[in-house]
Amino acid sequence: MSIRNYKELDIMTYEAVIGLEVHAQMMTESKMFCGCPTKFGSEPNSQTCPVCIGMPGVLPVINRKAVEFAVRTGLAADCTISSYSRFARKNYFYPDLPKGYQISQYELPMCEGGHIDIVVDGVKKRVGLTRIHMEEDAGKNIHEGTGNYSFVDLNRAGTPLMEIVSEPDIRSPKEAAEYMKKIRAIVRYLGVCDGNMEQGSLRCDANVSVRPLGQKEFGVKAEIKNINSFRFVEKALEYEIKRQIGILDDGGRIIQETRLWDPSTNTTQSMRTKEEAHDYRYFPEPDLVPIVADEKWIDEIRDSLPELPDAKRERFISEYGLPEYDADFLTSEKAIAQWFEDAVKAGANPKAASNWMMVELTGLLNEENKNMDECPLKPVQLAGMLRLIDNGTISGKIAKTVFEEIYKTGKDADAIVKEKGLIQISDTGEIEKIVDEVIAKNHAEAERFRAGDEKLIGFFVGQVMKLTKGKANPQVVNDLLRKKLS
Ligand code: ADP
Ligand code: MG
Ligand code: ZN
């Protein structure tokens, strides 16, 4: 169906209602119900056994670590941890699910309630959680080659997943993307999921409906399946909201359906309607005992929780006097926060360290497609370089060169400065000679400056810096130039 051109007004008179179901692959060594490894990228079907390929007569055994990870996540999101929880069979048949059912949870999930807080455009917002439950992932169907056949790789079959289901509390595509980013940050802080969206370790189904502003009841929703990037969740929802408003404005009605996001056309396409929806015929999994989580164990897990992104962000603002923007960046990843605090411990000024990390360090890491865990520069080396700026040994400009050299060679700032003769010239006599030379060579400009063209000061500073290879103390240069040109 085509989309009308809507006027701004239409968009303003409707409100979007969104709920996300986020699937996070848990970072356990072995699978949910067997001992097969969960490693990504191995030879197809090399990580399988009778349990995860669904041979008859075998019995699954619950992975204790996976339960612990789900509980960890639940505690971090302020959920109620169920003292009695159980697995259920969700029946459907696809070749990538060889048992003919997926072991999941239904009426008794591991965690219930709770919330995730997000900040959008400076406004804090709380998104309620419905539940967090555990389930096993399916394998992968591969459709390639020219023959009339497909392949199945069951390495992923049985990998432990958590499904984090939100209440329909989200109101815009941007909030949805922020919510997903926050979940990624939290699971990575907790060490329960690597958050690798390209590999599918974190993905979501986005449910969305629209309603006239002021209406209490929700509209009919569409579910957009299997979105694996923050950008896609935002774009898919933007498209879908417009599509639904377009239909309502044309006097049509929304049908409940499952849709697929197509990144090549930036549209969503219908996959199946409610009539074609699966009847999962859930029933309690008879091969597994219910999980009875004892208080002591849950308390132990609670005590082992790390400081989480929100708390760290608040602390960075109050303890280091950082702007919110800096605190957001520094706490976005545990490794970045750790690096920053190590630099401060080594004597770096917090705001200076933050600036160098946000601009230069991020730039260098991005060039090589590296993340913070792979950063070759050590926090103590940044602190050492900042010391050289503070005591006037090098200028801020030279520091950029020094910083790159530290990054590339692993040598300390002191050594690089000595080796390359980068020490700042603060000797007034030496600079004065060059200033005189520059003024003498640029008569016309000097006259114009004296006649009031103040902007030319930049030109003169530039000339002096050129002759000193950027090593002159900028403050001294400025002072001398103004004195001589007055
Ligand atoms: P279903 O039974 O179709 O799976 P659920 O009630 O389990 O639907 O909800 C699945 C997800 O959809 C949840 O994240 C929930 O918040 C969201 N959701 C439910 N109703 C709506 C609605 N009318 N509009 C948008 N999202 C919704
Ligand atoms: Mg559901
Ligand atoms: Zn197995």
Tell me the per-residue pLDDT of 202-254, one tens digit each, with 9 for 90 and over.
Answer: 999 999 999 999 999 999 999 999 899 999 999 999 999 999 999 999 999 99
Average pLDDT over residues 124-134: 97
| Residue 2 banded pLDDT, cuts 50, 70, 90 | very low
Beta bridge partners of 258: 223, 272
Would you say the CB of residue 254 lies under 6 angstroms from ligand 1?
A: no
One-letter amino acid for residue 210 of the chain? V
Calculate how far, in angstroms, residue 237's C-alpha sits from the geometric centre of ligand 2: 18
Say yes or no to pLDDT of 321 above 90: yes
Would you say the CB of residue 209 lies under 6 angstroms from ligand 1?
A: yes
Would you say the CB of residue 248 lies under 6 angstroms from ligand 1?
A: no
| Residue 144 banded pLDDT, cuts 50, 70, 90 | confident
Would you say the CB of residue 207 lies under 6 angstroms from ligand 1?
A: yes
Going by CA atoms, what residue is nearest to atom 7 of ligand 1?
Answer: 165
Say yes or no to pLDDT of 158 above 80: yes
For residues 228 and 475, which has the higher predicted lDDT (pLDDT)?
Answer: 228
Calculate how far, in angstroms, residue 285's C-alpha sits from the geometric centre of ligand 3: 18
**Backbone φ/ψ region at 136: left (φ over 0), alpha (ψ -120 to 50), beta:** beta
Q: What is the distance between the alpha carbons of residues 180 and 206, in angstroms, rounded to a whole number?
A: 11
Tokens of 48: 């399988």
The H or E element that residue 123 is part of is strand 123-136
Going by CA atoms, what residue is nearest to atom 8 of ligand 1?
Answer: 207
Residue-level pLDDT at 10 = 52
Would you say the CB of residue 165 lies under 6 angstroms from ligand 1?
A: yes
| Burial class of residue 54, CB neighbours in 10 A (0-12, 13-18, 19+) | middle
How many CA atoms, within 13 angstroms, populate the side-chain half-sphere of residue 211?
Answer: 14
Calculate how far, in angstroms, residue 207's C-alpha sits from the geometric centre of ligand 1: 6
- Angle among Cα 281, 107, 26 to the nearest 5 degrees reads 95
Calculate how far, in angstroms, residue 160's C-alpha sits from the geometric centre of ligand 2: 18
Going by CA atoms, what residue is nearest to atom 24 of ligand 1?
Answer: 209
Q: For residue 99, which of 143, 53, 156, 59 has the smallest C-alpha distance?
A: 53
Residue-level pLDDT at 254 = 96
| Residue 397 banded pLDDT, cuts 50, 70, 90 | confident
Q: What is the distance between the alpha carbons of residues 38 and 159, in angstroms, rounded to a whole number?
A: 6
Measure Cα distances from 33 to 38, 105, 120 in Å.
Answer: 12, 14, 39
Mutate to test the pocket of ligand 1, among 165, 179, 207 (most ligand atoms within 8 A of CB): 207
Residue-level pLDDT at 224 = 97
Calculate how far, in angstroms, residue 50's C-alpha sits from the geometric centre of ligand 3: 6
Beta-carbon count within 10 A of 225 CB = 17
Residue-level pLDDT at 25 = 98
Q: What is the distance between the alpha carbons of residues 380 and 347, in angstroms, rounded to a whole number?
A: 8
Calculate how far, in angstroms, residue 168's C-alpha sits from the geometric centre of ligand 1: 7
Beta bridge partners of 142: 151
Would you say the CB of residue 21 lies under 6 angstroms from ligand 1?
A: yes
Residue-level pLDDT at 7 = 52
| Residue 145 banded pLDDT, cuts 50, 70, 90 | confident
Say yes or no to pLDDT of 398 above 90: no
Q: What is the distance between the alpha carbons of residues 67 and 73, in angstroms, rounded to a whole number?
A: 10
Tokens of 68: 């612990």
Going by CA atoms, what residue is nearest to atom 14 of ligand 1?
Answer: 19
What one-character DSSP code corresponds to residue 250?
T
Mutate to test the pocket of ligand 1, among 17, 221, 278 (most ligand atoms within 8 A of CB): 221
Average pLDDT over residues 302-306: 97
Calculate how far, in angstroms, residue 408's C-alpha sits from the geometric centre of ligand 3: 44
Beta-carbon count within 10 A of 345 CB = 11
Average pLDDT over residues 272-300: 92
Say yes or no to pLDDT of 434 above 80: yes
How many CA atoms, within 13 angstroms, populate the side-chain half-sphere of residue 303?
Answer: 6
Residue count (the chain): 486
Calculate how far, in angstroms, residue 21's C-alpha sits from the geometric centre of ligand 2: 8
For the ranges 63-72, 92-101, 184-193, 300-309, the lowest mean pLDDT is seen at: 92-101
Which residues are CB-neighbours of 443 under 8 A, at least 6 positions away?
none
Would you say the CB of residue 16 lies under 6 angstroms from ligand 1?
A: no
Long-range CB contacts for residues 203-206, cutoff 8 Å, separation at least 24: 203/22, 203/23, 203/227, 203/228, 204/20, 204/21, 204/22, 204/23, 204/180, 204/233, 205/20, 205/21, 205/23, 206/18, 206/20, 206/176, 206/233, 206/236, 206/237, 206/240
Residue-level pLDDT at 11 = 52
Q: For residue 79, which of 22, 164, 160 has the smallest C-alpha distance?
A: 164
Say yes or no to pLDDT of 392 above 80: yes
Residue-level pLDDT at 46 = 97
Would you say the CB of residue 221 lies under 6 angstroms from ligand 1?
A: yes
Say yes or no to pLDDT of 457 above 80: yes
Long-range CB contacts for residues 183-187, cutoff 8 Å, separation at least 24: 183/22, 183/24, 183/116, 185/309, 185/331, 185/332, 185/333, 186/73, 186/76, 186/77, 186/116, 186/308, 186/309, 187/24, 187/73
For residues 395 and 305, which has the higher predicted lDDT (pLDDT)?
Answer: 305
Residue-level pLDDT at 441 = 93
Q: What digits encode the pLDDT tens for the residues 20-34?
A: 999 999 999 999 999
**Backbone φ/ψ region at 385: left (φ over 0), alpha (ψ -120 to 50), beta:** alpha
Say yes or no to pLDDT of 54 above 90: yes
Would you say the CB of residue 168 lies under 6 angstroms from ligand 1?
A: yes
pTM for the model stands at 0.86
Long-range CB contacts for residues 326-332, cutoff 8 Å, separation at least 24: 326/351, 326/354, 326/358, 328/119, 329/354, 329/357, 329/358, 330/354, 330/357, 331/185, 332/185
Say yes or no to pLDDT of 12 above 60: no
* Mean pLDDT over each residue of the chain, to the nearest integer: 93
**Cα 61 → chain centroid:** 33
Q: What digits encode the pLDDT tens for the residues 188-198?
A: 999 999 999 99
Beta-carbon count within 10 A of 419 CB = 11
Would you say the CB of residue 18 lies under 6 angstroms from ligand 1?
A: yes
Atom of ligand 1 nearest to the CA of 209: 24
Average pLDDT over residues 270-290: 91
Say yes or no to pLDDT of 178 above 70: yes
